Every structure is written in C-alpha cells, then in structure tokens.
Structure 1
Amino acid sequence: MPNETKTQIVDALLGLLSAKPYAEIGLGDIAARAGLSLGALREAYDGKIDILADFMRRIDRAVLDGAETPSTDESGRDRLFDLIMKRLDQMAPHRAAIGHLAESARRDPALALCLNCIALDSARFMLAGAGISTDGLRGAARTQGFVLMMSRVLPIWLKDEDPDLSKTMAALDRALEHAETWSRRTDRAAGLVCRVANRLHRHRPESRPREPKPDTAQPAA
C-alpha cells in the first residue's frame, strides 16, 4: 500500500474527528472522505484504532527526526521538556480532532484503554529520545508515568490560546517536577523489590537429587 494512500486515510479520519465524536465515525465514512473504496481501506488498516496508531507513529517520527542527539550538558528533564513541546507543535494542526478524541475517550473506557496502549508505545520512544531508559520495572513505571503526565498536560494545551503556549509550558514544567519526584520514589521501591528478590534467591535451598529407596522386595524362594 503506497504511503500516500495511508496519508489520505489518516487525514480523512482526523478531518472527520475535527467535526464529530469518534463513535459517530464509520469505516465507510473514512473511505469516502479519503476517496477510496472500503476494500482499499481494509488493505491499508485493520480499523480506526490502527489508523490512530499510525497517526501517532507519524508524530513520533517527525519529533524524533527533528530532535538533536541527547547532550550530557542537559538533564533528562530538560530534554524531555523540549521533545514534548516539539510534539505539541506537530499536533497543533490537529488540535480539534485531538480534543474530540480525548472527549470520546473520557466517555468510552474501551477506547481509553486502546489509546493508552498506543500512547505507551509512543512514550517509550519519547523517553529514549531524551536519553531516559525504559527497561525493566523502573522503565515500565516511567513509561506509564509519561502517559499519565501527558493526559494532564493535554487538556491545558487544548485550551491554551496564547501563541507562546505559556500556560502549557507552565503546566508541563509542574508535571515534570511531579514526575521526577514520583520517579525517584518508584525507583527506590523497584530497587527494594529487586534486592529482596535477590536475597530470597541466594537463600533458596539447593535442589538435591533424591536418594534411591532401598529395594525391599523379598528374594524369590
């Protein structure tokens, strides 16, 4: 499937989302707006969630391609702040669609769960772009924390009419400060769990082969 066709489909869904809720958009509506047959839409995507996931990947690609290599002179928090603001710049042309999608997710737990899965994949790359590890238990906590942080910042961004996005930047700065505190606590908790697990492993009794039981059968007469 040509990338241009996929772009048409992504743009069609976003265009529809800018005018009405997610639940009111059918696959036939998307195909018609994109100027494609329903069969062509099926060949390109599995459904609306798949199209949204592609949209998220396109935003990720644009942000990461435009990001500079992480510098040791910058803190992870500063790098993440810069990446998130770049991300919001990329999302700005689709603000109305994102607003309707967020509103739909608040009313539909199943949609919210699907969007959280998409956001987790994106978060791993955003954190990696800032030079922050997402491996192990600590990384999983950081990744979900990033998604929760963005869920608090996005409503403010959606209503921020200042060209400089001053309210958004202030909210993001507070959210990152809170996330740092939360991350330190989860790191300590994860470290404690790992130390306890290692200690239990060291003191686990060695498995020993069982000795064969003596043959108690009587010899034949």
Structure 2
Amino acid sequence: MATEKTKTKIVDALLALLSEKPFAEIGLGDIATRAGVSLGDLRDAYDGKISVLADFMRRIDRAVLDTIEDVSPEETGRDRLFDLIMKRLDFMAPHRAAVGHLAESARRDPGLALCLNRIALDTARFMLAGAGISSGGLRGAARAQGFVLMMARILPVWREDADPDLSKTMAAVDRALEHAETWSRRTDRAADILCRVGSKLDRHRSKPSAKPEADAPAA
C-alpha cells in the first residue's frame, strides 16, 4: 500500500502539471516523474488520473469540513453554505491555474466532464451536510446537482478575481445561492407533485379489482 506521503507527492505532481498544460496532455509517466516515484508506486496509490483528482477533492473536502464549528441557531443554511464555499475557495487558492486548465479540458471532453461531475456530487453531499442541509432522497439529489452547477458558475469568477478581499467572488456566491434557493423551491414543488401522483397510483393499484358478476341462470 502507498504511504500518505507518496499519495501527497502524486496529488501535488498532478496539480503542478495541470497548472502548466491541459489534462489530456498529462501522462501517467509524467505524473510519476514529477512526483519522484515509480510507475509501480503510482499504480499502488491510484487507478489513474481521475482517481488522483478524486483524492485531491477529498483532501479539500476534509480541510473544509475540519473547520466546521457548532452551528449557531441564528445562522441559516444559506449562511453556512456561503461560509463553506468561501473556505473551500481559500483552500483551493494555491491551485487556481490547475483548476482553470481542468475546467477548460472538461469543456472540450464530455467524458472528463461526466467524471468530474460524479466526483463533484460526492463533494456536494458533504458540503450540504456541513451546512445542515439534507442531501437524501429526490430533493437531496436535486440539491447536490444544484450545488455542482452553482460551483461551476462561481469558479470562473473566482479564477479571475484579483481583489484580495474576493469581493467579486463573494457577490457571485451570493447570487448563485439566491438562484439556487429559487431553483430548490421549484424542484421541491415538483417533487411534491411527483410524490402525490405516486401515492395516488399506489392506492389505485392496491384496490381489489371488481369480480365479474355470475351469469344469470337460464329461465
């Protein structure tokens, strides 16, 4: 099994390479060389480049989640989510160039975009949980995907925000959360309608079918 030190070197190597060139141009040998490990060590640690990216996301998740303190009753879910998003961007700040190249690569490669969406959904569920927002069931799945789409709108603003206070980024996060709240209310109503329709169908299926009347005796 690869050590945590080896994994960290590999993750850092991929991010360093991503800051220089597109994802598709990075080979496994390039990662191993930059990390100073053998290909065998790389294989022991990860299944491939996507696996390394997933570990990077988990590390950011853990760093953000470790900052969570006791929830104040005065804070709303939106307030907590705003705080977690800003903390997440702070932890990602050293890797802005890498995140930018990865986003550009995903726009050109639908397969990569799908893989990143799957990874981002795992992140979304933990970020929602950290904000005290449910991610279970149909509504939760919609909220998780909404979080992923919301971050996709925020990241381009963050990458170009040269203000040390990240004022443009904070404004973008606020707008995205407002949009997400509106979208969430709509999906909640749609989920309610689907649940009611499903309940009616279940009740209809559970009713016993009427028995055919016996033929009248011949006169």
Which interval holds the TM-score relative to the shorter structure? over 0.9
For residue 37 of structure 1, what is the aligned residue in structure 2? 38
- Total equivalences in the alignment: 209
For residue 131 of structure 2, what is the aligned residue in structure 1? 130
Look up the SS of the partner of 2:163 in the other structure. coil
Look up the SS of the partner of 2:61 in the other structure. helix
Alpha-carbon distance in structure 1 between the residues aligned to 2:73 and 2:196? 29
Q: Once the two structures are superposed, what CA deviation does each residue of 1:34-89 show, in whole Å capped at 9, x if it has no partner?
A: 11110110010000000000000000000000122333211100000000000000
For residue 153 of structure 1, what is the aligned residue in structure 2? 154
Q: How does 1:39-78 map to 2 (within 5 A)?
A: 39-78=40-79
For residue 201 of structure 2, what is the aligned residue in structure 1? 200
Alpha-carbon distance in structure 2 between the residues aligned to 1:127 and 1:154? 18
The alpha carbon displacement at 1:200 in A equals 1.5
Alpha-carbon distance in structure 2 between the residues aligned to 1:91 and 1:167? 17
Q: Once the two structures are superposed, what CA deviation does each residue of 1:132-166 show, in whole Å capped at 9, x if it has no partner?
A: 00010000000000000000000000000000000
Look up the SS of the partner of 2:205 in the other structure. coil
For residue 216 of structure 1, what is the aligned residue in structure 2? none
TM-score (norm 2): 0.93
Q: Once the two structures are superposed, what CA deviation does each residue of 1:79-127 show, in whole Å capped at 9, x if it has no partner?
A: 0000000000000001111111111111111111100000000000000
For residue 175 of structure 1, what is the aligned residue in structure 2? 176
TM-score (norm 1): 0.92
Q: Output the amino acid matched with 1:27.
A: L
Alpha-carbon distance in structure 2 between the residues aligned to 1:186 and 1:107? 30
Q: Output the amino acid matched with 2:131.
A: A
Cα distance change on mapping 1:30 and 1:207 into 2, 3 Å:
farther
Alpha-carbon distance in structure 1 between the residues aligned to 2:133 and 2:206? 38
Calculate percent identity across the aligned residue pairs.
77
Q: Output the amino acid matched with 1:20.
A: K
For residue 215 of structure 1, what is the aligned residue in structure 2? none
Q: Does 1:3 align with 2:4?
A: yes
Alpha-carbon RMSD: 1.2
For residue 105 of structure 2, what is the aligned residue in structure 1? 104
Question: Where do 4+ consecutive residues of structure 1 move more than 2 Å?
Answer: 69-72, 205-208
For residue 214 of structure 2, what is the aligned residue in structure 1? none
For residue 219 of structure 1, what is the aligned residue in structure 2? none
Alpha-carbon distance in structure 1 between the residues aligned to 2:153 and 2:132? 23
The alpha carbon displacement at 1:207 in A equals 6.1
Q: Output the amino acid matched with 2:73.
A: T
For residue 27 of structure 1, what is the aligned residue in structure 2? 28
For residue 163 of structure 1, what is the aligned residue in structure 2? 164
For residue 89 of structure 1, what is the aligned residue in structure 2? 90
Q: Output the amino acid matched with 2:150.
A: M
Would you say the 8 A contact 1:70–1:129 is kept in 2? no
Which sits farther off after the overlay, 106-115 or 199-208?
199-208
Q: Output the amino acid matched with 1:130.
A: A
Q: Output the amino acid matched with 1:177.
A: E
Q: Output the amino acid matched with 2:146.
A: G
